[in-house]
Chains A and B, each alone.
Chain A
Amino acid sequence: GENVEQHPSTLSVQEGDSAVIKCTYSDSASNYFPWYKQELGKRPQLIIDIRSNVGEKKDQRIAVTLNKTAKHFSLHITETQPEDSAVYFCAASYILTGGGNKLTFGTGTQLKVEL
């Protein structure tokens, strides 16, 4: 099955700096790579996703890059703000019977943005 590795496990940056989180996946059949943000005690929420036919996607301060050959993808947050502090999970998926998405998640990165 799919295996997703995520680094680093914790990341501390100064407000205004950039943060980069990296993930690798094992199953070349995976074609969908979302990133979820989870605040303490809250539900995971999608912040950005990318499909395997695209190399990069950007949404304001957040960008994701995908290297299919190397099977790794990264999350980039620029101009970090205190409200960016949370746990970030990468995931990879393949399509299930009936068309559903089975997400395999990384172990998470605790991002702390310090004032």
Chain B
Amino acid sequence: DTGVSQDPRHKITKRGQNVTFRCDPISEHNRLYWYRQTLGQGPEFLTYFQNEAQLEKSRLLSDRFSAERPKGSFSTLEIQRTEQGDSAMYLCASSLDRNTGELFFGEGSRLTVL
């Protein structure tokens, strides 16, 4: 499968713990996005990378959230001191051509904070 892959697919953690999610985009895609999706809602934009540069962050991304894409390939999203409100599906997407516009999503990492 050469699509976007995310790991882990499911994570259950206790409030206050730190969690990290990994995303491997489609290999030739230089743009990478993180979205968050809660039950019954559409995905919400969190942040965007072009190569290794983080070019935009949503106001939804509090200082407990940090994302990196150190070599312009895979990306990590870390949540520190998790809260119950962080429970959601975290979706990664990648794209290549701005003119096409299509985002290719991964299957997501589901976070449950107890």
A residues within 8 Å of B by Cβ? Answer: 4, 6, 32, 34, 36, 42-46, 49, 51, 89, 91, 93, 95-108
**Residues A102 and B56 in contact, CB atoms below 8 Å apart:** yes
> Would you mind naming 24 contact pairs between A and B with Cβ atoms under 8 Å apart?
A32-B101, A43-B105, A43-B106, A43-B107, A44-B43, A49-B101, A49-B102, A51-B101, A91-B42, A93-B101, A97-B55, A98-B31, A98-B50, A99-B50, A100-B95, A100-B98, A101-B98, A101-B101, A101-B103, A102-B45, A102-B48, A104-B45, A107-B40, A108-B40
**Residues B55 and A100 in contact, CB atoms below 8 Å apart:** yes
What's the minimum C-beta distance from A40 to chain B, rounded to whole angstroms?
12
Query: Which residues of chain B have C-beta atoms less than 8 A from A105's C-beta?
Result: 42-44
**Residues B48 and A100 in contact, CB atoms below 8 Å apart:** yes
Q: Judge if B53 is at the interface, Cβ distance under 8 Å.
A: yes
Q: A100-B33, A107-B40, A107-B42 are in contact. Are A42 and B98 (CB under 8 A)?
A: no
